[in-house]
Amino acid sequence: MSAPSSQKQWSVTGTDKDFDGLQYVDVPVPKVGEHDVLVKLHAASLNYRDLIIPKGLYPFPANFPVVPGSDGAGEIAEVGSKVTKWKRGDKVVTLFNQGHQFGPVDQAAAGTGLGGVLDGTLRQYGVFSETGVVRAPKNLNHVESSTLTCAALTSWNALYGLRPLKPGETVLVQGTGGVSIFALQFAKAAGATVIATTSSKAKAETLKKLGADHVLNYNEDKDWGQTAKGLTPDGAGVDHVIEVGGSGTVEQSLQAIKFEGIISFIGFLGGAKIEASVIETLYHICTVRGVYVGSRALMEDMVRAIEANDIHPVVDEKVFTFDKTREAYEYMWAKSHFGKVAIKIE
């Protein structure tokens, strides 16, 4: 398998044109350095982050123009002269923060995110450091594997990065986005009880099919945090909250949490301005933790768990072709999806 001299890729030109800043262009295939690998990308998937970067709503640094997308899966097409970890044909998944190899994230590693600071995965071929990719799970196809980089690893970090989830504990997940669904799947595989929230009766049924033990409709139950707490043994509260709503949900998360429980902040779908006071963490005696994806070491642990439990990511039934990436952005922005929005790269 030899790479061609040119390829198609998407590029985000800036933050002033919204999705019109997405350009589909022809560029040369990049060359590998001594410690690099060239990956023929077969699939990519989108995250909320990808949508807000061209909209100018992303609160972290980005370099323009940039190839968007952090999540990608494919196979090694070429290896640098000093690469020992990989060979041609190996199936791999991209690591979100290329510099975050193990342990806690630091300032330097936080500035190595694909699709923001560094060129990402919405291209036919990409060069990455040999430590910037992880072996793909043997039980997944390329489209499924392409969903693991951000949402899956973020939820795995939330459940295992600070204090590992234990069988019999309770996890509260919010909504049906990628992080929440992965957290549901990982928690059930670990023998935990899962309480999920949604506003949709149809999505509630799907959450139950995925293994949720309890589903609460947050439109019908405005005090769903207290309700969730009441569903735990002795009403003590939940051990882990996967917090994706921000200002729209944190007050209820605090109501739900157990003493010494962990609220992992993933996103701010309900707004970034938090009105709950920091002192609330003292009243509820809990840890509130910001999670920024995770390390390569954590991702390797996650891949082993996915294989051992034969976990398959939930991918939206509508998979886009590479030339229709702009439509994929619009589809996800309109919240027309359930699970991960994926793109096949031919």
Half-sphere exposure of 328 (CA within 13 A, CB side): 29
Query: What pairs with residue 113 in β-bridges?
Result: 97
Ramachandran angles phi, psi of 13, nearest 5°: -85, -20
Asked if residue 267 has pLDDT above 90, the reply is no
What is the rounded radius of gyration, in angstroms, for the C-alpha atoms of the chain? Answer: 20
As a whole number, mean pLDDT of residues 303-317 equals 97
Give the count of beta carbons closer than 10 Å to the beta carbon of residue 230.
Answer: 11
Asked if residue 1 has pLDDT above 80, the reply is no
Amino acid letter for position 36: D
Asked if residue 273 has pLDDT above 70, the reply is no
Domain segments of the chain: what residues? 6-150+294-344, 162-290
Q: What distance in Å separates the CA atoms of residue 172 and residue 197, rounded to the nearest whole number? A: 8
138: nearest Cα among 182, 73, 80, 200: 73
Residue carrying structure tokens 């791999």: 92
Topology (CATH level 3) of domain 6-150+294-344: Quinone Oxidoreductase; Chain A, domain 1 (3.90.180)
Query: What pairs with residue 238 in β-bridges?
Result: 257
- Cβ atoms of residues 68 and 122 within 8 Å: yes
Characterise 57 by phi-psi region: left (phi > 0), alpha (psi -120 to 50), beta (else).
alpha
Q: Which two tokens stand for residue 211?
A: 């293994």
Kindly state which CATH superfamily the domain 162-290 is placed in: NAD(P)-binding Rossmann-like Domain (3.40.50.720)
Q: At what angle do helices 178-189 and 296-308 cross, to 10 degrees?
A: 60
- pLDDT per residue over 37-93, tens digit each? 999 999 999 999 999 999 999 988 899 999 999 999 999 999 999 999 999 999 999
Residue carrying structure tokens 């010494």: 260
Same CATH fold assignment for domains 6-150+294-344 and 162-290: no
